[in-house]
């Protein structure tokens, strides 16, 4: 306070356009703090998972990723069979779900009579709302026996020369059942994103193709699919991320077999997330707990990569279509 205002002009100072009001500061401060909290939360998740897996990272190193087997008695731990199970189930589910989802999206945007569109869209999104534990329960008791009695023997007898379709196992639970369950779970995700992408294709492009005499399918193949290629790839990646991270339903239907790497899809197996769901409470040693944190770290890193990539693709698509980018 080097100068003291004696003239009282401060009270009648002309409006300068920027007055700091305490209320603004309070609201901006609290909201900013909450936003900072969200960022800190993300950092904390990464930090805690890394911290928990430090013991396993230092003792088991990268060999953990290749070693097959989970043996608490001799403290031999490895993620090999879980990585295999995760890769097989999620890629299998992606291969089954993508064509179905694209078909649904094309049906909803190009083919369906207008009175069906809204209800079918709502039904497909309802499928995404079913909790994974309910789908898993249905998978154990209804789907597993159904696949065991009808689908697996048929696949084995017709396509048995492919090693993927070996001898069915008597429980009906295994990687194949997990693939079917995961397909059901990621189908609505890929379908609803693709539907929005297809709705964003400019009608003049579609009309130009149809005006040149293409059939509807040729228009889809020549205009819609190339135009939305990047976005569909992002939708598939998001579906893959969901399939890889799904723990409960897979733990229920994959059979929970830890030490097996077999190309026969009808055998039991386990995934990274399924192993975590089944074993976390029964962990007996610090090293085993830390090894489970290591599995979680693999899942976390994968989900970070998937989401950053998908987001960058979606933003690029949105910018090209001149939509609001936020």
Q: Is 148 exposed, middle or buried (0-12, 13-18, 19+ CB in 10 A)?
A: buried
Nearer to another protein, 65 or 304 (CB): 304
Contact between 192 and 128 (Cβ < 8 Å)? yes
Report which DSSP code applies to 265. Answer: T
Nearer to another protein, 135 or 260 (CB): 135
Nearer to another protein, 110 or 196 (CB): 110
* Minimal distance, residue 58 CB to another protein, in Å: 17
Strand 70-71 versus strand 76-77 pairing type = antiparallel
- Alpha-helical (H) ranges within the chain are 22-52, 54-60, 63-66, 80-106, 114-129, 132-138, 144-146, 152-159, 175-199, 203-211, 216-219, 225-227, 229-245, 248-253, 272-279, 286-320
Nearer to another protein, 97 or 264 (CB): 97
- Give the residue from 230, 214, 211, 231 showing the smallest Cα distance to 222: 214
Measured CA to CA, the distance from residue 180 to residue 163 in angstroms comes to 18
Nearer to another protein, 83 or 264 (CB): 83
* Minimal distance, residue 230 CB to another protein, in Å: 17
Cα first-last separation, the chain:
44
* Minimal distance, residue 74 CB to another protein, in Å: 24
How many Cβ atoms sit within 10 Å of the Cβ of residue 284? 11
Query: Tokens 């609201």 belong to which residue?
Result: 27
Nearer to another protein, 207 or 218 (CB): 218
* Minimal distance, residue 221 CB to another protein, in Å: 9
Instruction: For residue 181, give both structure tokens.
Output: 């369950």
* H or E element at residue 3: none
3-state secondary structure of 143: helix
Nearer to another protein, 257 or 300 (CB): 300
* Minimal distance, residue 263 CB to another protein, in Å: 26
* Minimal distance, residue 251 CB to another protein, in Å: 8
Helices 229-245 and 272-279: crossing angle in degrees, nearest 10, is 30
* Minimal distance, residue 130 CB to another protein, in Å: 6
């Amino acid at each position: 306070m080097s100068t003291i205002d004696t003239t009282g002009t401060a009270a009648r100072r002309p409006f300068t356009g920027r007055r700091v009001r305490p209320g603004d500061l309070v609201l901006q401060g609290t909201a900013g703090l909450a936003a900072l909290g969200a960022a800190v939360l993300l950092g904390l998740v990464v930090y805690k998972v890394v911290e928990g897996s430090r013991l396993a990272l230092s003792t088991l190193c990268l060999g953990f990723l290749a070693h097959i087997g989970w043996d608490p008695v001799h403290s031999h731990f490895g993620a090999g069979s879980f990585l295999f199970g995760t890769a097989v189930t999620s890629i299998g589910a992606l291969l089954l779900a993508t064509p179905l989802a694209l078909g649904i999206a094309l049906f909803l945007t190009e083919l369906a009579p207008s009175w069906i569109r809204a209800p079918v869209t709502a039904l497909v999104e309802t499928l995404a709302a079913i909790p994974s534990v309910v789908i898993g329960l249905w998978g154990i008791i209804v789907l597993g026996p159904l696949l065991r009695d009808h689908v697996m023997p048929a696949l084995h007898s017709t396509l048995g020369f492919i090693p993927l379709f070996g001898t069915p196992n008597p429980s009906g639970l295994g990687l194949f059942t997990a693939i079917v369950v995961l397909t059901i779970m990621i189908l609505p995700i890929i379908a609803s994103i693709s539907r929005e992408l297809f709705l964003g294709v400019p009608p003049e492009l579609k009309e130009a193709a149809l005006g040149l005499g293409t059939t509807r399918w040729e228009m889809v193949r020549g205009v819609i699919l190339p135009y939305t290629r990047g976005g569909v790839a992002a939708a598939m990646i998001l579906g893959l991320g969901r399939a890889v991270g799904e723990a409960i339903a897979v733990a229920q239907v994959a059979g929970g077999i830890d030490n097996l790497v077999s190309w026969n899809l009808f055998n039991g197996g386990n995934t990274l997330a399924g192993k975590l769901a089944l074993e976390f409470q029964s962990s007996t040693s610090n090293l085993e707990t830390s090894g489970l944190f290591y599995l979680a770290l693999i899942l976390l890193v994968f989900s970070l990569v998937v989401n950053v990539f998908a987001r960058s693709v979606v933003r690029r698509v949105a910018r090209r279509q001149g939509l609001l980018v936020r």
